[in-house]
Homo-oligomer: A and B are copies of this chain.
Amino acid sequence: MNDLGVTVKKDEDFAEWYIQVVLKSNLLDYAPIKGFIVLKPYGYAIWERIREVADKRFKESGHQNAFLPTLIPESLLSKEAEHFEGFKPEVFWVTHAGNDELGERLALRPTSETLAYEIFSRWIRSYRDLPLKINFWNTALRAEIKSTKPLIRTSEFLWQEGHTVHASKEEAEDEARLMLSIYKEIIEEYLAIPVIAGYKSDKEKFVGADYTLTLEALMPDGRALQMGTSHNLGQNFSRPFNIKFLGKDGKEHYAWQTSWGISWRLIGALVMIHGDDKGLVLPPRIAPIQIVVVPIFYGDDSKHSVIDKCKNVYALLRDRFRVHLDDREEYTPGYKFNDWELKGVPLRVEIGPRDVKQGKVVLARRDDSRKVSVGDEELLDAVTNMLEDIQHSLYRRAYEFLKSHTFSTLTYDEFKEHIEHGFVRAYWCGSQECELRIKEETGADIRVIPFTDDSINDTDMLKEGGMMKKEQVRDGDEGDTRCIYCRRSAGKIAYFAKAY
């Protein structure tokens, strides 16, 4: 079993543990080109679940899906200069079709702003055509020069990119904020991962955006991971792409825009945060298989009645849960237990001859390995409650980790100590110079400048223990609110961390 299971401990070699888990649990495999991966059916099923949940939210909030080609002419990609400079180093270029050299190079979509907006400009004439709210489920291609990591950084990734056009600045601001809150809900309530919401610094924002909103999570090795971003593009693209509309006032105006995205990186975060030494641990609301039913019998005497009961239990659960009956004959129950634990299925139903006789089943939780025996008549309720409990317990555990690894400090010495272990919350003067110096000296970026209103962030966490109170770094620190680096007066509180 050793070569099938995970052979390193999560807290001993986190990087190796991660690779073993994603490969051995059958989430994915390497592709024959360096930096590219293949999602196997089990990994893709998780992506399908995320897509299903997100797609429903997008449609409920008035967005529609559409399709754009993979290729963007260079002249179009370069139309917004800053944007082009940002993506240029990692663009894959098509130069030939068959044996013919193309007249103009074609970029493989690193993101679709330029292509979408050239097209949107033809669709929009008047305020009646607004808002335009479109989403694309596709892949983005960016040649990764840094070292890659499956699901976290690869040269092609599955994602969705939303693109909206509005008649007013306020509407675009509301949209950017709304999409961030939808992402937050999906990530916290389905993936059971707590995140901190706020702004990116100008240095870290999307190239071409007025500002970028972000959700940041903390991985077990103390490094931050960007989970989703929502960009307010202002009129930065509507001007070069000539997206104008005739307003109710009878005049022409440039439109206001947003774009936003989440990717399969969320699956990587899921693995890192909830996984353990046995493998994946999936939150019930996102797990492709929530419950696996495993028959246990020795010899042929009990086989028939055990299998029968398993089939009945499967049939009972099937309407309400994503359940799988593992009736493979060529594997032992022990092998199956390990296999489904590696794959992170939240709940296992074990049924043996004694359970048949006594009218019971055994429920085994993946998250804490507890087992309970319940009577057949309680099964449905017990399973329902237990799945909910696993969901919440995974979130609580991740939340406790985030809380205990988010440090507040007023001194740069403490900063340098804490930054090795998680988020450091500190005052920052707002200058890019300090930001760059801190990055050089510690390797840490500003991950997020938290919202100062509580509408999006978890108020519990912001308030609890005074540690993360929104307006101040520490209780009673009104006397020392100077920049952690330059000691000038600070306008902002920022979360720093080393990042993936």
Interface of A toward B, CB cutoff 8 Å:
29, 31-33, 36-41, 43-45, 47-48, 64-71, 73, 76, 88-99, 105-106, 108, 115, 118-119, 122-123, 128, 134, 139, 141, 143, 145, 156, 158, 330
Q: Are B92 and A88 in contact (CB under 8 A)?
A: no
Q: Are B66 and A44 in contact (CB under 8 A)?
A: yes
Residues of B with C-beta under 8 A to A65? 41, 44-45, 48
Assembled-state Cα–Cα distance A109/B108 (Å): 12
Among all A-B residue pairs, the 6 with the closest Cβ atoms? A97-B143, A41-B64, A39-B67, A93-B96, A36-B69, A89-B98
Q: Are A90 and B95 in contact (CB under 8 A)?
A: no
Which of B41, B89, B106 contacts A134, CB < 8 Å?
B41
Check A67/B158 contact, CB under 8 A, given A38-B119, A94-B94, A98-B91. yes
Residues of B with C-beta under 8 A to A96? 92-93, 95, 105
Residues of B with C-beta under 8 A to A44? 64-67
Assembled-state Cα–Cα distance A44/B122 (Å): 18
Which of B32, B40, B95, B115 contacts A73, CB < 8 Å?
B32
- Please list 10 pairs of residues, one from A and one from B, whose beta carbons are closer than 8 Å in the complex, sorted by A's number: A31-B69, A39-B66, A89-B99, A92-B97, A93-B96, A94-B108, A96-B105, A98-B143, A98-B145, A128-B330
Q: Are B115 and A69 in contact (CB under 8 A)?
A: no
Q: Are B92 and A31 in contact (CB under 8 A)?
A: no
Q: Are A41 and B70 in contact (CB under 8 A)?
A: no
Closest to A138 in B: B139
Assembled-state Cα–Cα distance A247/B156 (Å): 36
Assembled-state Cα–Cα distance A336/B145 (Å): 53
Residues of B with C-beta under 8 A to A91? 97-98
Q: Are B94 and A90 in contact (CB under 8 A)?
A: no
Residues of B with C-beta under 8 A to A32? 73, 76, 115, 118-119
Closest to A145 in B: B98
Residues of B with C-beta under 8 A to A95? 93-96
Q: Are B29 and A122 in contact (CB under 8 A)?
A: yes
Check A93/B90 contact, CB under 8 A, given A38-B66, A47-B67. no
List 5 additional contacts besides A31-B119, A70-B139, A71-B141; criterion CB under 8 Å. Answer: A32-B73, A38-B119, A47-B67, A67-B158, A70-B156
Closest to A99 in B: B89
User: Smallest Cβ distance from A41 to chain B, in angstroms?
Assistant: 4
